[in-house]
Amino acid sequence: MNYSLDGAANISLAGSENSWNTTINPSYGSHNILFYATDTAGNFGTSTLVYFSIVDATPQTIIQTQTIYAGGGGGVITTKESSESIIYDGEIELLSGEEGGFTLDVYNNYTNAILENLTLILIGISGENISITPDKISKIVSGETKHFSVKFRSFNYSDYAEYNLNAVIKGRITKGGITKNYTESKLIKLIIQGISEKDAEKRLSEAEKAIFEMREANLSTLALEYALNQSKFWLNEKRVYKKSWELSDQIVKTKDVASEADDLLRNLILSMESPQNNNLIGSNAVKNFRSFQNEKPLRALLTGKAVLASNSVGNLIGQAIAAFEKGEYYTALAIAKEARDSLLLERNANPFLLVYTYWPFILLALLFILMIGIFNSRMHRKSYIAKQEKSIVNKLKNLFKSFEHKIYGLFQNLALKGKKEVMIVDHRIVDVLKSISNGKDLKGKIIKINLN
């Protein structure tokens, strides 16, 4: 059997079996002692930490106040009234990643006594994470209060951590010319929060709003309401803010999943009935996170109609709706995605889907091509006819020019022979000649020849 006084080295106790004893002579002030035991089989055990105090015999009432502050979460003030001991019980909260600390008051309640060369040691945490000022309090006279300032460097915890710190003040006490060792201890609880209380409260409010919206849409919220109560418990009772935030965050995310599942199932039903709505379930489809307000229940949308879709896809949609109605929203979304992938795979492999989906546009395209063909045909025919007409006119012109030269030569020969007859030219020939060639000139030439 061994013991440790105020965290010092273990000291063996005299005795055997069920009886051990020793004598200790601690100084004035608060102390703690811890007992250790080892049996013959090598099993090891410890007692709980026992606190006690050595006080002046002079009766007095002492009121001790410990002020604790934190960089992130504010301070906690613990006040304890005692007629026997000077024990500081305090609690400090720090936010992960931020600095904080507390102030430890040391009050000399001893009559006509002086406390000297006091130092503070914190047991239960690595010394590299703390700084204590001043290093030493040189002197505290009777009735005077001085303090140590303890600051913690940044702690990086993603969740939550607790430390039980034993603050041990050691020094000397002088009274009536007699100087003795002085020790007092305080137990301080250090809490490192992974998230602030304000952030946890904000996420809790968002979770309450999410559940309210789902209730308004007659969706199952039983599991979410239980999680909400747990979140409030961890926030208000346990004061583990990260745990509360995580529960609230899960509620908000579940509401978003329910909204996504609802949206996908509605679009799947529309696409099943009409392949023209295939774009609603494609990879580029825009998700519409509904507020669930004024929507028909999913099962009421099922008509049993399916175009270019197999029964297996319809069965998957039915399973997803069943899971959705039971509040299993993550399961419902997973099954709905499986149904979507199966439907898209089936339709992409179906050669009739393109014709079925876009037949109005295909028909319009064919009509347009036909009209273009007819127009081009008519234009080509008109051009051909115009060319033929031009060719015929040119041939006629050449023919009548040749005829004109022959007639002109004939009249010229007659004139040369001295004939005075007036040649009467059929007016119909002259009219034809006028329309084909320069008829007036020809007529003039004929008349001139005849007159001569």
Contact status, residue 108 vs residue 141, Cβ threshold 8 Å: yes
Name residue 446's amino acid: I
pLDDT digits (tens, 9 = 90+) for 273-303: 877 666 777 654 445 545 554 567 888 887 7
pLDDT of residue 271: 85
Query: What is the pairing mode between strands 145-152 and 160-175?
Result: unpaired
Is residue 67 scored above 70 in pLDDT?
Answer: no
Cβ contact 58:158 at 8 Å: no
Q: Which two tokens stand for residue 211?
A: 């559940």
Supply the mean pLDDT for the chain: 75
Low-confidence winner among 47-56, 64-73, 191-200 (lowest mean pLDDT): 64-73
Does domain 63-193 fall under CATH 2.40.40.20? My reply is: no
Rounded mean pLDDT of 263-269? 90
**Distance between CA 94 and CA 194 in Å, rounded?**
9
- Give per-residue pLDDT as tens, 210-222: 999 999 888 999 9
Q: Quick check: pTM over 0.75?
A: no
Per residue in 385-438, pLDDT (tens digit) is 777 777 777 777 777 677 666 666 665 665 555 444 444 444 445 555 555 454
Domain regions of the chain by residue span:
2-54, 63-193, 197-348, 391-451
Long-range contacts of residues 402-410, Cβ cutoff 8 Å, at least 24 apart: 403/433, 404/433, 404/437, 404/442, 407/442, 407/446, 408/442, 408/445, 408/446
Task: In whole angstroms, give the CA distance from residue 236 to residue 81.
Answer: 27
What does the alpha-carbon distance between residue 3 and residue 32 come to, in Å, rounded to a whole number?
10
Average pLDDT over residues 93-120: 88
pLDDT digits (tens, 9 = 90+) for 164-187: 888 899 999 999 889 999 998 888
Judged against a pLDDT cut of 90, whether residue 17 lies above it is answered with no
pLDDT tens digits, one per residue of 25-49 = 777 666 778 676 776 666 656 665 6
Selected residue with higher pLDDT from 141 and 300: 141
